[in-house]
Amino acid sequence: MKTNLILTLLLFAGIFSMQSQHTISGKIVDTDNNVLSYANIVLYKIGEDNTPKGTVSDDQGNYSFANLVSGSYKVEISMLGFETKKIEEFQLNSNKKLNVTLKEESQTLNEVVVKSKRPVIKQTAEKLVVDLEKSEMINTSLQDVMRKVPGVLVTNNGISIAGNRGVRILINGKTTEYMDVQTLLRDFPADNISKIEVVEQPGAEYEASGSGAIINIILKKNVRLGTHGSANVWVGEDEGFEYGTGFSIASYKNKLNWQTSINHSKPTWRDDLFLVRSVGSETYDQVTKEPYDPSNFTWRGNLDYYLNDKHSIGLGGRWNSRKSDRIASSRTIISDATNSDVLLSENSFDRDRTNFNINPYYEYKTDTDKLVVDFNYVDFTNDNTNTLYDLPGSTVAFTDRRYIQDGKYNIKTYRADYSKTFSENLKLSFGTRYADVDTDNDLQSLLENNTGGFDLDVDESSRFVINETIFAVYSKINATYGKWSFSGGLRYEDSNTNGTSTFMQNGSLVSEVQKRPIQKIFPSASISKKLTESLGASLSYSYRIQRPSYSSLNSFATFLDPFSAGEGNPNLKPSFTNNFQFNLTYEGQPFFTVGYSKTDDVIFDLIQQDNTTAQIRQREVNVENNANWNFRLFGPLSFIKGVDGYTGFIVTHTDFQSSTFNVNLDKWNLFWFIQASYELPWGIDFELSGNYGTGALEGQIDVDWLAQLDFSFSKKFMDNKLKANLGFNKMLNRGFVGTIDYGNGNANVHSNGSRQNIQLRLVYSFGSRFGKKKTRRNSSRDEENRIQDNN
């Protein structure tokens, strides 16, 4: 045993001895021998010019590159206000000292930044990266940006990728689970976005939760010096006048950086439902019109302090508020061969949602090592009151109802991530995460009394409390050998969920506890090869878990109208998904994709009809088997003169099978999409986004063909400081037209939102763009991150 241990240690020593230990270091000064802090130093290895290393000089003008292999190198040193210094090819066989003197430019010229009209898009085995840093597109919101991501469809119902709507949105890796997605898409300013990562096969560093893709929005940080900001305002017409405004300001000077923004919006839209169904010999023809005009307010702020060139600390925060008072109106005509009745009702909704987030962090970063330790706290409240009542003229009597549901959610997450870059071809990562979640939902159900008021119905009221802890550890390796690249990781999660439901039963107060312990290992892996100079291929796999939402576990029902209700399911189990994906890329761009997923106990929205009471109820259940195929073909539009963008086809196949709930759904469908931009005369940018689908399975709803079309006109004024965008959204929006098979009957359903939305957006940028002679340490970090990020 001892001999084996010694051999193992010798083996590891041999492996690490093969990694070179040479160092290049030095000091950067000016011609008066004054040290130059934060100068950019880029190191090129001859023959590998496309993957340079980058660093910056510290407060004393010192810099260093460690763990370099023997070979030929060249160095380039640059700094705003000074002439660029190039050190031509030299041999490195031992530690080398390179002190450099920079000469001040004879005259200061405006910085020339090479920009392109379109973002830089790169497909890897693990994710699709859309780099907006050097794009010149006039984006006004996150929604505009997402429409430019190949294969991502933005509709009234949110975001879908390859037919899957289970998309999770992160901001700098942090959850937005408790934010309203439509508000986030509409109000989040595009100017703050550096990159968007679409991660369809999440690696071990991501939480195992979720069956769909992850969209990670990476914000800009230290991209330019000075104090600068922007103000924006938009007005529009949808289901009435709508408007929004926002302001952001940032300061990047020396070691202290800060940024803050506020946004307020009051959009308008509607969701209408037309439902025709048979109950025995009777026909129920229901029309529900549901307008929305919420008031949204958001504040965000970040503070970063650089202790030195390796250590930094920071604090981020976010506060969101959403208030909504609206009335949904329903009319149901109940008829048979001889009689006809009408039920007129309204459901008044009063909803108040707020969430607060704070995130302190510490980061240590060198050329080869990176450690991030952070804490994330989320406090979310969701207070709802809805009152269901009849209207004069209704010939069908029912008892008015009121529901008061106060929800509180408290989430604390502790995380540490460490990565070690041994060489340009080998990187190891590992980390840990601990989350503690507490939720408290108190549902009070009230019934109308004889005096016109409401009395508490204790038999239909409950309190539902959840405590959940999730502990995770992971490790991951990224390796490259010649034309091959490999990434593989393991994530272990130990979660314990305790749900306590307190309610009245037969006159006695009862508490029921549901415990759900889960210990699982979640593997992920990808392998890719460069087939030719232009063509590449990759194969990836991930194993995921989909946990039930906290609100879906409460068993009690709430009525949306007298004949339809939503009902919870305390026996709902998590589902587990195996995901496989094959990609072909052309010049690093997405070209052809095949994806397959198999889910056990998939969480499914089941709609059932009781022919005795004529009620329909929707609840989440576990369907035993679910399989999905998707085939995607992408093509750039650059072959058309002056046009940038993508078009393509998405073919999906969805299959749900359950003997328990008599579910047998199977459907193929085809989507065609286009995302294009073209520069018109007078510097006007025209952008178009559209899609057409032959159909889809939206849970239990078999949807007929659907289509959507949006376009906009943009122009810059006042030396590019003022951006104007006139958008025409939902010009073609058929909505969902389909059928529901209850098992004991069918229904024709038409779910349709508002159409022909027009918005005018103005964004004005102000402030200092660049400092005089100093650049922040992160002025080269974008390049450095691009070099070292092998994920």
pLDDT, tens only, 58-115: 777 888 888 888 888 889 888 766 788 888 888 888 888 889 988 876 543 333 444 4
354 is a domain residue: yes
Give 133-151 pLDDT, tens digit per residue: 666 555 567 777 777 777 7
Domain boundary (102, 133, 168) is at: 102
6 is a domain residue: no
pLDDT band, very low/low/confident/very high, at 778 (cuts 50, 70, 90): very low
For residues 513-531, average pLDDT? 92
State the pLDDT at residue 536.
Answer: 92
Identify the domain containing residue 68 by its residue range.
Answer: 19-102
Distance spanning both ends of the chain, measured CA to CA:
37
509 is a domain residue: yes
pLDDT band, very low/low/confident/very high, at 524 (cuts 50, 70, 90): very high
φ, ψ of residue 685 to 5 degrees: the values are -95, 130
Judged against a pLDDT cut of 90, whether residue 593 lies above it is answered with: yes
Judged against a pLDDT cut of 60, whether residue 355 lies above it is answered with: yes
Give 408-467 pLDDT, tens digit per residue: 999 999 999 999 999 889 999 999 999 999 999 888 999 999 888 899 998 888 888 999
State the pLDDT at residue 178.
Answer: 63
Q: What is the DSSP letter of 104?
A: B
Judged against a pLDDT cut of 90, whether residue 522 lies above it is answered with: yes
pLDDT band, very low/low/confident/very high, at 771 (cuts 50, 70, 90): very low
For residues 652-670, average pLDDT? 92
Give 713-770 pLDDT, tens digit per residue: 999 898 888 989 998 988 887 778 899 888 777 889 988 776 788 999 998 988 764 4
771 is a domain residue: yes
- Contact between residue 141 and residue 189 where contact means Cβ atoms under 8 Å apart: yes
Judged against a pLDDT cut of 80, whether residue 676 lies above it is answered with: yes
* Residues 302, 307, 310, 311, Cα dihedral to 10°: -60
381 is a domain residue: yes
Q: Which amino acid is at 403?
A: Y
Token pair belonging to 70: 């023997």
CATH number of the CATH domain containing 27: 2.60.40.10
169 is a domain residue: no
Domain boundary (34, 69, 102) is at: 102
**Pair (376, 508) in one structural domain:** yes
Lowest mean pLDDT among 12-16, 533-537, 573-577: 12-16
Judged against a pLDDT cut of 70, whether residue 391 lies above it is answered with: yes
Counting Cα atoms < 13 Å in the Cβ hemisphere of 442 gives 5
% of the chain residues with pLDDT over 90? 35
CATH number of the CATH domain containing 597: 2.40.170.20
Calculate the average pLDDT of the chain. Answer: 83
**Pair (91, 230) in one structural domain:** no
Which has the higher per-residue pLDDT, 754 or 555? 555
554 is a domain residue: yes
For residues 123-129, average pLDDT? 81
Which has the higher per-residue pLDDT, 527 or 132? 527
* C-alpha to C-alpha distance for 693 and 274, rounded to whole angstroms: 21
pTM for this one?
Answer: 0.78
State the pLDDT at residue 116.
Answer: 46
Give 241-272 pLDDT, tens digit per residue: 999 999 988 887 767 888 898 999 999 988 88
**Pair (94, 236) in one structural domain:** no
pLDDT band, very low/low/confident/very high, at 193 (cuts 50, 70, 90): confident
Nearest C-alpha neighbor of 553 from the set 513, 607, 600, 609: 513
Lowest mean pLDDT among 32-36, 267-271, 366-370, 444-448: 32-36
The listed range with the strongest mean pLDDT (169-173, 542-546, 636-640) is 542-546
Give 310-328 pLDDT, tens digit per residue: 899 999 999 999 999 999 9
**DSSP characters for 324-380?**
EEEEEEEEEEEE-SS-EEEEEEEEEEEEEEEEEEEEEEEEEE-SSEEEEEEEEEEEE
- Contact between residue 93 and residue 81 where contact means Cβ atoms under 8 Å apart: no
State the pLDDT at residue 732.
Answer: 82
139 CB-near residues (< 8 Å, 6+ apart) = 132, 145, 148, 190, 191, 193
**Pair (268, 409) in one structural domain:** yes
Lowest mean pLDDT among 180-189, 334-343, 506-515: 180-189
For 100, 122, 453, 714, the CA distances from 385, given in Å and listed in that order, are 69, 47, 15, 42
% of the chain residues with pLDDT over 70? 89
Count the domains in the chain.
2
124 is a domain residue: no
For residues 704-711, average pLDDT? 88
For residues 660-671, average pLDDT? 91
pLDDT band, very low/low/confident/very high, at 53 (cuts 50, 70, 90): confident
